[in-house]
Amino acid sequence: MPKKAVREGSIINALKSIHNLSNKDPVMKEDVTLALIVGTRGIFNPKLAVEGRKSICARMKELGCKVIVPPQDATPNGAVETVEDARVYTKFLQENREKINGIVITLPNFGDELGTITALKMADLKVPVLVHAFDDEINKVDVSQRRDSFCGKLSVCNNLHQYGIPFTDTTFHTEPVESKEFAADIDRFVRICRIVGGLRTARIAAIGARPTPFQTMRYSEKLLQAAGITVVTLDLSEILFPAMRLDDHAAAVTRKLKEIRAYGSIPKSIADEKVLKQAKFSVAAEEWIEKNDIHAAAFQCWTSIQQNYGCAACLTMSMLGEKGIPCACEVDVGGVLAMYILRLATGNASALLDWNNNYGADREKCVCTHCSNYPKSFIDGPVEISNLGVLGTTLGPENCFGGVKGKVKAGPMTFLRADTDDLHGKMRAYLGEGEFTDDRCDMDGGIAVCKVKNLQGLMKHICKKGFEHHVAMVRTHCAGVVREAIETYLGWELYAHE
């Protein structure tokens, strides 16, 4: 798997540094660098700026953030007030452009709107901005101790609005850096930075042609490119033939065989030669993905691979997804884009599911399925790796080894669908939260029983707006983070389901 960043300081390429992180890691701040702008105004006690800078830097480092700021002595009190101060901060920001993924503006006192906005405008980094202001203490409001940050923040935000610079607010208008709210705001902002930076330089593979019967998988490469997302296309034969040429006893193949058998249980009825085919396909696919710096991939998963090679692509996609490279079936580029967003937001493995069946008469539940290519961490209990059920009936089970089967375990989930609206020339998406339930369902494949409030309203929106039947899901709630990234910074049309 890729571990070396293609371009230093880019969030998207820094994803490679988190491929080896546990899916349980909730924060992953180490791949994001935040620059700090400390605002001050001369009529207020400069000691507040000095102490505020020191305390917020210490707190952010305590929270696991990489924080950079000009040296304390670069400007009076280590803060920004004048245009001259702004030039110092601008120079610092521009020199560290490749490192910086987001900017935190903090106001230990009222701050100076002109110095702050000038530094941001001149640096022109086009990264997310978080605006924070310190609390006043009710017993410290004399001239030497009062901050007036409550008021100063309004002035700074007014200027951000005037200059057309998008920004993110904190939970409370003012808040102490020691508070749990500030910790949550920093965590949220880091995730927003990862999404925004990630999508602006993403490389998504489209491996093979979409299945002819699935016109629903059409998309616009040009609209994606305008959003910063590069689609790297590849004929499926360029994976299949390298896989065929691999020696049965090659070290990479031997390692992959061992990895596959550790990943799940394989029925005794499956011939060893089928497992070997799957291992070779995985090795060839992973080598191409690493060589081409791919961050997510959409595979042609039927019928060419079964008819011309003799296995399914599901297991390869599942294992890549578990390692941090989301993979979608049926060359669903919009689907894997949504999976990638959820991966960036959470650090967790994401999956692609079909909105597939009603769940009896319960109109807030449905069954979501796939053959499947779900990452192992989605499934409750042991994973079975065997032949595809539905496709196996027409293509022959002997050609369809590689389905990852099991019931998705109960817990919170977030769903997201991204799409190119070609008729109107824009990016669009829908987003919401729900839960995986432990309700019984005896279907074959990868099965998830999902509960979503006002599910019928969501289905009506999907139908009316012509969205696809595929949806990306991740095993946690993160809709707030994704919504802020899409609405505030990416500018896509978004339906947030509530």
Check residue 143 and give its pLDDT.
78
Per the listing, tokens 């999907």 go with: 462
CA 461 to chain centre: 24
Cα 13 to Cα 10: distance, rounded to the nearest angstrom = 6
Residue among 110, 130, 175, 161 nearest 35 (CA)? 130
Cα 11 to Cα 100: distance, rounded to the nearest angstrom = 9
State pLDDT tens for residues 94-149.
Answer: 999 999 999 999 999 999 999 999 999 999 999 999 999 999 999 988 878 899 99
Check residue 12 and give its pLDDT.
35
Which residues of the chain are under the pLDDT cut of 50? 1-27
- What Cα–Cα distance (Å) separates residue 214 from each residue in 291, 332, 466? 29, 10, 14
Cα 9 to Cα 34: distance, rounded to the nearest angstrom = 11
Residues in CB range of 244: below 8 A, 6 or more apart? 280, 309
Q: State the burial class of residue 81 (Cβ atoms within 10 Å of its Cβ: 0-12, 13-18, 19+).
A: buried
Check residue 18 and give its pLDDT.
33
CA 273 to chain centre: 36
Cis peptide before 369, with omega less than 30 degrees from 0? no
Domains of the chain listed by start with CATH number: 11-18+32-199 (3.40.50.10940), 202-496 (3.40.275.10)
- DSSP-assigned beta bridge partners for residue 355: 368
User: Computed from CA positions of residues 269, 272, 274, 275, in that sequence, does the dihedral angle turn out positive or negative?
Assistant: positive
Check residue 30 and give its pLDDT.
64
> How many residues does the structure list for the chain?
498
Check residue 42 and give its pLDDT.
79
Check residue 269 and give its pLDDT.
96
Global confidence as pTM? 0.93
Count the Cβ atoms, other than its own, within 10 Å of residue 162. Answer: 10
CA 240 to chain centre: 29
Count the Cβ atoms, other than its own, within 10 Å of residue 227. Answer: 18
